[in-house]
Amino acid sequence: MKCPCTSGDAFAACCEPILTQAKAAETAEQLMRSRYTAYALGNVDWIVESQSPDGLQFVDRKATEDWSKRATWHRMEVLDTQQGGPDDTEGFVDFKAYYTIGGEDVTHHEVASFRKEDGRWYFVDGVEVKPRPFKRLERKVGPNEPCTCGSGKKFKKCCGKPGAGV
Res 165: pLDDT: 55
Q: pLDDT for 108-164, tens place per residue?
A: 999 999 999 999 999 999 999 987 776 777 778 888 888 888 888 888 888 888 766
Q: How many whole angstroms separate alpha carbon 22 and alpha carbon 24?
A: 7
Instruction: Assign domain 11-128 one CATH number from 1.10.8.80, 3.30.479.30, 3.10.450.50, 3.60.40.10.
Output: 3.10.450.50
How many beta carbons lie within 10 A of that of residue 148, not counting itself?
13
DSSP of 19-32, one letter per residue? HTTSS--SSHHHHH
Residue 51 has pLDDT above 60, yes or no: yes
pTM over 0.85: no
| Dist CA 19 CA 118 (whole Å) | 19
pLDDT at residue number 54: 92
Burial class (CB in 10 A: 0-12, 13-18, 19+), 60: exposed
C-alpha 153/C-alpha 148 separation (Å) is 9
Q: What is the mean pLDDT of the chain?
A: 92
pLDDT, residue 164, reads 67
Q: What is the mean pLDDT of residues 84-105?
A: 97
Q: What is the reported pLDDT for 3?
A: 97
Collapsing DSSP to helix, strand or coil, 65 comes out as: helix
pLDDT recorded at residue 145: 85
Please report, for the chain, the start and end positions of each structural domain, with discontinuous segments joined by +: 11-128, 136-166
